[in-house]
Amino acid sequence: MTSPSASWRWLCAAVFTFLLVVSPLSLAAAQQPSAAQPNQASVQSAPQPHNLAPLWRDVRSGEPGITTVRGPETGVLVQSGGETWRELRNGPITYYGGLLLLVIPIAIALFHMVKGQLKLDSPPTGRVIVRFNNWERLVHWLTAISFVMLALTGLTMLLGKHLILPLVGHAVFAWLVAFSKNFHNFLGFLFIVSLALMLVTFLRDNVWDSCDAIWIRKAGGLIKREHVPSRRFNFGEKTWFWLGVFFLGLTVAISGLVLVFPNYFDMRSTLQLAHVVHLVTAILMFALSLGHIYMGTSGVEGAYQSMITGEVDEVWAQNHHELWLKEVNARSGGQITGGGVR
């Protein structure tokens, strides 16, 4: 009979022999990839069912797909130009446009502080001349009021989330933007009609004249406060007419019509381009109008009265539009009375 100590020694020897033989085999098997456990490279190269990056790369490539809807862009699921338009609208246009509309009023205020109002050379005589008749004033104010309202509603939609939203909150701002958009769209038609009437009404008095060269050379007399003769409109007013009203005004009107009637245009890129053009030209037109408004109000003594009553004093006409005054005197036989020349 075997003793307990001998049995214990045989058990330990058996366990030691098992570990010595089996452990190296296990390590070797673990180091070799099996069919059930693929290596790292095969895992990476295998298709990933939840990886949609390749799909969206194909979608954003612009290559047309297959659809039953007819149209030039119906096969394009994602139009990448929309992101470019969004970055332009929310980036450079908003930033530099807002900066321009901030700098211009500051520059005008500084100019007014340094130069002050352009005064008349002598006291008014009381003898007045009709500068604008009723029809001309009506066309001017229709265009001016509709343009200012369009500018305010347009700026609300462009800059409102930066300037108005923090003050009134999301609920009030949402109502304000919705109202601005609809009011802007409908008021645009009045602006277009009044703009066309203004172009026809004032066209003949805004053609180039030889006296405009003198006005350009002397900068309108604003710097040295000197007398510069001109006809009914000087070169500064003509510049506003052709650049501000004609070119920028018509561009704003045409691009606005494209945006109001999008169903007439098949390409989304057309609407995006129209929106960018509309924003840029509207901002430039509003910036130029600030100078026009300044010169027509506090910048020149007596200028605002001419568009309210339509009449100007003889001294005002002599100071600012001497050649026009001579034409009026020639037509009236040189008789200017307290009742005015009409």
| pLDDT tens, the chain, 342 aa long | 555 556 656 666 665 565 555 555 555 555 555 544 555 555 455 556 677 787 777 766 666 666 666 677 777 777 788 889 999 999 999 999 999 999 999 999 999 999 888 888 889 999 999 999 999 999 999 999 999 999 999 999 999 999 999 999 999 999 999 999 999 999 999 999 999 999 999 999 999 988 889 888 888 777 777 778 899 999 999 999 999 999 999 999 999 999 999 988 878 889 999 999 999 999 999 999 999 999 999 999 989 999 999 999 999 999 999 999 999 988 876 555 444 444
Amino acid, single-letter form, for residue 120: L
Distance CA 147, CA 192 (A): 10
Structure tokens that stand for 71 in this block = 């149209």
Cα atoms in the Cβ-side hemisphere of radius 13 Å centred on 324: 24
Q: How many residues does the chain have?
A: 342
Three-state SS for 300?
strand
Return the bridge partners of 341, or none: 129
User: How far is 221 from 218, CA to CA, in rounded Å?
Assistant: 5
pLDDT at 337: 45
The label of the residue with tokens 């790292």 reads 40
d(CA 155, CA 330): 47
| CA 278 – CA 258 distance, rounded (Å) | 10
DSSP H helices in the chain: 4-31, 40-45, 53-60, 81-88, 94-115, 134-163, 165-202, 211-217, 235-239, 249-260, 268-296, 303-308, 314-320, 322-332
How far is CA 284 from each of CA 244, 245, 247, 300, 311, rounded to the nearest angstrom?
8, 11, 11, 23, 31
| pLDDT given at position 160 | 94
CA distances to 118, 221, 291, 324 from 214, rounded to whole Å, are 19, 10, 21, 15
Backbone angles phi, psi at 130, to 5 degrees: -75, 115
Q: What is the pLDDT of residue 46?
A: 54
299 backbone dihedrals φ, ψ, rounded to 5°: -75, -35
Distance CA 86, CA 339 (A): 58
pLDDT of residue 129: 93
The CA angle 22-23-26, to the nearest 5 degrees, is: 90
* β-pair partners for 128: 313
pLDDT at 53 (0 to 100): 80
Residue with tokens 């019509």: 257
β-pair partners for 229: none
* Distance of alpha carbon 289 from alpha carbon 296, whole angstroms: 10
* Cβ atoms 301, 117 nearer than 8 A: yes
Residue 191 corresponds to which tokens in the numbers above? Answer: 């602006």
- pTM given for the model: 0.77
Cβ distance 287 to 101 under 8 Å? yes
β 128-130/311-313 pair status: antiparallel
In the chain, what are the domains? 123-332 (1.20.950.20)
Q: Are 180 and 157 in contact (CB under 8 A)?
A: yes
Residue 302 CA to residue 297 CA, distance in Å, equals 8
Q: Which candidate, 102, 195, 215, 201, places its Cα nearest to that of 155?
A: 102
Sign, CA dihedral 331-336-337-342, equals positive
